Chains A and B, each alone.
Chain A
Amino acid sequence: MVYISKIFKLSYDMIRLKSAVSSYLFILLILSSFTVKADTVVELEKRIQQLEALVEKLMSNTANEASLGKEKHESDDKANTSSLNDLTLEVEEQQYLIEELSKKDENQMQVSGYADVEYKGSDSPGASEEFRMHHLSLFFTKKFDNKFKFFSEIEYEDAPKFDGVNDGSGDLEEAAGTIFVEAVNFDWNYSQAFNIRAGRFFSPAGIWSEDHYPPFVATQERPMHIFRIFPQFVDGVSGYGRQYLSDSISVDYNVFLGNGESSVSGKKDLNSNKATGFRGRIQLPIWDEFSFGFTFYNDNEDSANGNADKFAHGYHLEARYHNFSLQGEYAFANLTFSDDSLDYDREGFYAQVKYHLNDWDIGYRYDFYDANSIGVNTIKRNSVFVNFHVNEAMTLKGEYHKNQYQDSLVDDVGFYTFSISTYLGN
């Protein structure tokens, strides 16, 4: 009798389970006809795991009962097996539905971003400490299929506020901060070796130009020459890809054509000359990661620098051995004008070493920048930093920088920043 009651209980449990699964499938079908959210897929996965665990438990119970050697009614056995098969089929069906939902989910527009807040101070006489609501950036991305994707970034810098005057004039009473479309581009991914990107994108020059996002770089303060020798971004088109020369040696390239630097580059070029650039990089099987490369950039009429004929070149190296990582960049620009006496060079480099220990990074960077070879403009900077990664998305940073000026009239100055930055994506 005890055994029969157990069987009935088991069957009753399975009927309840089936009922729950059926209800769930019904809800699932309704959900699938609406917009699919990532949460839905996650929930489905959890549900599948629960169902799998239940199926295993039921099978285990059945096996245990059988091993006890008690008599069973043949009809109960058949009912049990049939119910288990039904449940297994339903689990498989749900897996199929998950895949279908995942496909839909992949093609949804994704929203992510990052944010950072700083507390800054300086040992310069009279300088006050401040909180800075530095960045809130939102990324909108969409993958149309395996070949086409869209990427954009809108940055809100220094908590922008724009307030109009209520007198019909259209004038602004208050305007502070920056709203900036930093990236908006389309990618056509043909193969690993050949892809095309069109729109606005960060200049593929060296390392920091692309790899500069606060949650993922060691310091809030970027090396001084970054964005000053090669432009911050390109409005144009680029072709890029990677080719393997052997199992572990690869070269990658990025060739680009754009409007060049100017205040209105997003709408029109200020001149008929296009800026061109090329970055090449080779990756070698040395240490855990090792790559070095070069960048060339040419703009025959650089609107951002007095319509100079600008030619720049740079070299970079990036390496990691276990917890040690090293990166450095050098860049040089030659700017020539119709009046030769105005010609000058611009030069900068940095070398950074970082040690990662558990959730901590500590490191040092030496930085050099000469904005204009005419005159005494050289700045040398020594920086030390420590980062604590609260988790994979959030980082607390402390950094101290000491600037030394070539100009004897300018006093050396030290400044520090404490910050919290977080990545807002999944």
Chain B
Amino acid sequence: MRKSQLIMIVMFLFLFSRNVMSETVYVVVNEKNTDIISPELVKLIYLDKSSVWSDGTNILVFELPVKSDARVKFCQEVLNMSPVSSQRYWSNRFVNNTIQNEVKIKPHRLVTRFVSAKESAIGYVPESEIHNMKGVRIVMTIN
């Protein structure tokens, strides 16, 4: 393949790639959750490949709506996929009856509230929620 063709393809791919929001996204768990939560574990949880905390309790996963900017950023930075792909992934696991985690889609304001209320919960929220972080622990920051 000629060099110019290669450059054209790369430019095409960049043109169609989406911009990631500049706002920071925080991954949060309940403040009573003392597990060590690595970025890899966050990824495995959101790919439904890890479904229990270290004490054996089931993980309650909170997702944001597909069109949420924070979800775009989270999916691209953590899962390396688009929010639509991520949602299709969850739906597929539901219909083929292999889903393990309990997943709920909530607006980010409620995610913070629910995570602070549920010890087994994990969620992620945009920077605008930083003042409502009572009862939650930030385990990962996505800049």
Contacts and interface: CB of A to CB of B under 8 A. Distances in A.
Interface of A: 45, 48-49, 52, 95, 99, 106, 112, 114, 139, 146, 151, 153, 183, 185, 191-192, 201-202, 210-213, 215-216, 242, 244, 247-248, 250, 283, 285, 288-289, 320, 322, 356-359, 389, 391-393, 423, 425
B97 A201 contact: yes
From DSSP, what is the main secondary structure of chain A's interface residues? mixed
Contacts of B95: 112, 114, 139, 153, 213, 215-216, 423, 425
Contacts of A48: 110
B68 to A, nearest CB: 12
Interface in B45-95: 47, 49-52, 56, 58, 66, 79-85, 87-88, 91-92, 94-95
A215 B91 contact: yes
B18 A358 contact: yes
Contacts of A285: 40
B134 to A, nearest CB: 12
B52 A392 contact: no
A45 B110 contact: yes
B96 A213 contact: yes
Given A146-B58, A216-B91, A358-B16, A151 B110 contact: no
B13 interface: yes
B97 A359 contact: no
A45 B107 contact: yes
Interface string B5-21: 00000000100111000
Interface residues of B, number: 41
B96 A242 contact: no
B58 A52 contact: no
A239 to B, nearest CB: 14
Interface string B99-111: 0101000110110
B94 A356 contact: no
Contacts of B130: none
Nearest to A254: B98
Contact of A283 (B17, B38, B49, B88): B49
A202 B58 contact: no
Contacts of A215: 88, 91-92, 95
29 contacts: A48-B110, A52-B109, A99-B114, A139-B95, A183-B97, A192-B52, A211-B92, A215-B88, A216-B91, A216-B92, A242-B51, A242-B100, A247-B41, A248-B44, A250-B49, A285-B40, A289-B47, A320-B80, A356-B81, A356-B82, A358-B18, A358-B82, A359-B84, A389-B88, A392-B87, A392-B91, A423-B91, A425-B91, A425-B94
Interface of B: 13, 16-18, 38, 40-41, 44, 47, 49-52, 56, 58, 66, 79-85, 87-88, 91-92, 94-98, 100, 102, 106-107, 109-110, 113-114, 117
Given A285-B40, A357-B16, A358-B18, A393 B47 contact: no
Given A49-B109, A247-B38, A285-B40, A151 B91 contact: no
Nearest to B89: A216
B52 to A, nearest CB: 5
A388 to B, nearest CB: 11
Nearest to B56: A191
A112 B17 CA distance: 32
A157 B5 CA distance: 46
Contacts of A244: 50
Nearest to B86: A392
Given A49-B110, A183-B97, A250-B50, 19 more contacts: A45-B110, A95-B117, A114-B95, A139-B95, A192-B52, A202-B97, A213-B96, A215-B88, A216-B88, A242-B51, A242-B100, A244-B50, A247-B38, A289-B47, A356-B85, A358-B18, A359-B82, A359-B84, A389-B88
A151 B97 contact: yes
A112 B93 CA distance: 13
Given A192-B51, A392-B87, A185 B113 contact: no
Nearest to B94: A425
A388 B2 CA distance: 29
A391 B117 CA distance: 32
Contacts of A288: 79-81
